[in-house]
Structure 1
Amino acid sequence: MPSLTLLYQDAHLVAVHKPAGLLVHRTALARGEREFLLQRLRDRLNQRVYPVHRLDRPTSGVMVFALTPDIAARLCEAFAEQQLDKRYLAVVRGIAPESERLDYPLRDENGSRPKAEMPAMPAVTDITRLDSVELPVQVNRYPQARYSLVEARPLSGRHHQIRRHLSRRGYPIIGDTRHGKSVHNRFFARHLEAPRLLLAATGLAFEHPVFKQRLTLECALDAPMAALFEHFGWAGHLPVDRQRLTPLPARNP
Structure 2
Amino acid sequence: MNIPILYEDAEALVIDKPAGLPIDRPRAGGACLEDYLEDLKLGFQRAPLPVHRLDQDTSGCLLLARNPKALKRFSAAFEERLVEKRYLGIVDGVLEQEEGTIALSLSKVSTAKSGWRMIPARKGKPSTTHWRKLAEVDGRTLVEFRPETGRTHQIRVHAASGLGAALIGDPVYGSRKGAPRTMLHAAGLLVPRPTKDPIGAMAPLPADFAALGFGDA
TM range (shorter): 0.7 to 0.9
Please say which structure displays the higher CA radius of gyration. Answer: 1
Shift of 1:51: 1.2
Q: CA 1:208–1:39 in structure 2 vs 1: closer, same or farther (change >3 Å)?
A: farther
Equivalent residue, structure 1, for 2:30: 34
**2:208 alignment partner, one of 224, 227, 232:** 224
RMSD of the alignment, in Å? 2.5
Q: CA 1:7–1:236 in structure 2 vs 1: closer, same or farther (change >3 Å)?
A: closer
Equivalent residue, structure 2, for 1:157: 150
| Counterpart secondary structure, 2:106 | coil
Query: What pairs with 1:66-215 in structure 2 (closer than 5 Å)?
Result: 66-96=65-95, 97-108=97-108, 119-134=123-138, 146-168=139-161, 169-182=163-176, 185=177, 188=178, 194-208=179-193, 211=196, 213-215=197-199
2:130 partner letter: D
Query: Equivalents in 1 of 2:70, 2:133: separation in Å?
Result: 36
TM-score under structure 1 normalisation? Answer: 0.75
Shift of 1:82: 1.1
Larger RCO: Structure 1 or Structure 2 (Cα < 8 Å, ≥ 6 residues apart)? Answer: 2
Preserved contact between residue 135 and residue 143 of structure 2 (Cα < 8 Å) = yes
State how many pairs are aligned. Answer: 208
Preserved contact between residue 38 and residue 49 of structure 1 (Cα < 8 Å) = no
Query: Equivalents in 2 of 1:122, 1:58: separation in Å?
Result: 24
Shift of 1:153: 0.5
Preserved contact between residue 14 and residue 65 of structure 1 (Cα < 8 Å) = yes
Shift of 1:118: 9.9
| Counterpart secondary structure, 1:107 | strand
2:215 partner letter: A
2:28 partner letter: G
Preserved contact between residue 40 and residue 48 of structure 2 (Cα < 8 Å) = no
Instruction: State the Cα deviation string for residues 16-35 of structure 1 (Å, max 9, x = none).
Output: 01011101123xxx222232
Shift of 1:11: 1.2
Preserved contact between residue 118 and residue 157 of structure 2 (Cα < 8 Å) = no
**Structure 1 unaligned regions, length at least 5:** 135-145, 189-193, 238-253
Whose helix fraction is larger, Structure 1's or Structure 2's?
1
Instruction: State the Cα deviation string for residues 186-218 of structure 1 (Å, max 9, x = none).
Output: xx2xxxxx311111000011113652x222210
Query: Equivalents in 2 of 1:114, 1:43: separation in Å?
Result: 34
Instruction: State the Cα deviation string for residues 217-246 of structure 1 (Å, max 9, x = none).
Output: 100122222332xxx2x4342xxxxxxxxx
Q: CA 1:52–1:132 in structure 2 vs 1: closer, same or farther (change >3 Å)?
A: same
Preserved contact between residue 172 and residue 179 of structure 1 (Cα < 8 Å) = yes
Whose strand fraction is larger, Structure 1's or Structure 2's?
2
TM-score under structure 2 normalisation? Answer: 0.87
Q: CA 1:72–1:210 in structure 2 vs 1: closer, same or farther (change >3 Å)?
A: farther
Identity of aligned residues (%): 35
